[in-house]
Amino acid sequence: MKLDLPNTFLAKQKKLPIKREVQNPEIQESRNFQRKPACSKPMAGSESKGLPMIDMQDFPGQLAKLIEACEEWGCFRIVNFQNFVPQSLMQDMKGVIRSLLDLPIEIKRRNVDVIAGSGYMAPSKINPLYEALGLYDMASAQDVDAFCTQLDAAPHQRQTILRYARAVNELMMDIGHKIGEGLGLKGVPFKGWPCQFRINKYTFTNESVGSSGVQLHTDSSFLTVLQDDEIIGGLEVMRKSGTFFAIDPCPETLLVNLGDIAAVRKSFYYLSLL
C-alpha cells in the first residue's frame, strides 16, 4: 500500500463563500450566508457528498477505507472522535479564539514566530483577507503557556487552550497511528513531532465574497486536522483530475488533510518514518 500522491493532489484553497444576502457587510455572522445542509448530522458510515467519512470508533474495520481516502482524496472527515475532543471543548475553544482574534493588533503581534510563519500573520498583500494566530507546538505545555502569556489569556482561556491542545494532539497521534497501521506500520513513534496550531480568520465584505481567502497551497505538515465552521464553507481541495471540490461544512466532524510529508512514495515513507 502506498501514499503515492503528486503534491497538486493535496492542494487546497479557501474561497470566500457565495452569499445569499448580507444585511451588514461588517457582520460576518453565519446567519447572513447560505446554509449548506449537506451534512447535517453525520451517521457512522455516511458520506458527505462523496468526501469519505471515517468513523474513529470503527477500527480496524475502517482501515481499508481510511487508506483509500488517503490515496484517492488526500483528505477525509472524521466522526466519533469525541473520546479525544469532546464537542463542548470544541465549542469552548471557538469562543476563546474569537476573543483572541478580537484583541488589539499590538497584542496579537506579540505572538511571534518560533519558526517562519508559526506566529501571528497579519493580513498581507498576498492574503489581504486572512489573519492568523499560531502556536509552534501544541504538544509542548511550555509553548502553549508562552502563547497564552503573549496574548494575556485569562485563566479560563488558558485552561481551555491547554485542554484543547492536549486533546487535539492525542487525536492527531491516533489518526497518524491508524494511517501507519493501514500501511502495515505498527507503533510509528509520532510522540515528539511538533504539532503546529493555527487559528484562521477571514475578513470579508460584499466586494470580497467569491475571491480567495487564502492562496492556493499544500500543507507542509504530515497531517492537518481542521475544525472548520459548522455553517460557512469555502474550502476547496484539488482532485486528481485537477478540478476543485468544495468541502461543505459538516457539524460534529473534523476535516483531516494529508500534508506534503505524507505525500511521498512508499519507499521514501518507510525510510523517513523508521
- Say how far residue 159 (Cα) sits from the centre of its chain: 21
Which residues are at the interface with ligand AKG (CB under 6 A)? Answer: 12, 14, 198, 200, 214, 219, 226, 228, 235
Closest separation in Å from C-beta 16 to ligand AKG: 11
Closest separation in Å from C-beta 198 to ligand AKG: 5
Round to whole Å and give the CA distance between 156 and 128. Answer: 32
The runs of H, that is alpha helices, within 102-210 are 105-108, 141-150, 155-182
Round to whole Å and give the CA distance between 46 and 39. Answer: 9
Q: Which residue is nearest to ligand AKG (CB)?
A: 200
3-state secondary structure of 179: helix
Closest separation in Å from C-beta 221 to ligand AKG: 9
Round to whole Å and give the CA distance between 180 and 184. Answer: 6
Q: Which is nearer to ligand AKG, 169 or 221 (CB)?
A: 221
Closest separation in Å from C-beta 226 to ligand AKG: 6
Q: Which is nearer to ligand AKG, 117 or 184 (CB)?
A: 117
Q: If phi over 0 gives left and psi between -120 and 50 gives alpha, with beta otherwise, what is residue 74?
A: left
Closest separation in Å from C-beta 101 to ligand AKG: 13
In this structure, which amino acid lies at residue 68? E
Looking from the CA of 210 toward its CB, the CA atoms found within 13 Å total 5
Q: Which is nearer to ligand AKG, 168 or 183 (CB)?
A: 168
Q: Which is nearer to ligand AKG, 14 or 178 (CB)?
A: 14
Q: Which is nearer to ligand AKG, 75 or 161 (CB)?
A: 75
Round to whole Å and give the CA distance between 210 and 62. Answer: 36
Inter-residue contact 218 to 10 (CB < 8 Å): yes
Q: Which is nearer to ligand AKG, 12 or 158 (CB)?
A: 12
State the residue for C-alpha cell 503581534. Answer: 109
Closest separation in Å from C-beta 61 to ligand AKG: 29
Closest separation in Å from C-beta 54 to ligand AKG: 19
Round to whole Å and give the CA distance between 32 and 105. Answer: 26
Annotate 99-130 with DSSP letters as a single string. Answer: HHHTS-HHHHTTS--SSTTSS-B---SSSTTE
Round to whole Å and give the CA distance between 226 and 219. Answer: 12
Q: Which is nearer to ligand AKG, 54 or 247 (CB)?
A: 247
Q: Which is nearer to ligand AKG, 65 or 128 (CB)?
A: 128
Closest separation in Å from C-beta 60 to ligand AKG: 30
Round to whole Å and give the CA distance between 199 and 173. Answer: 20
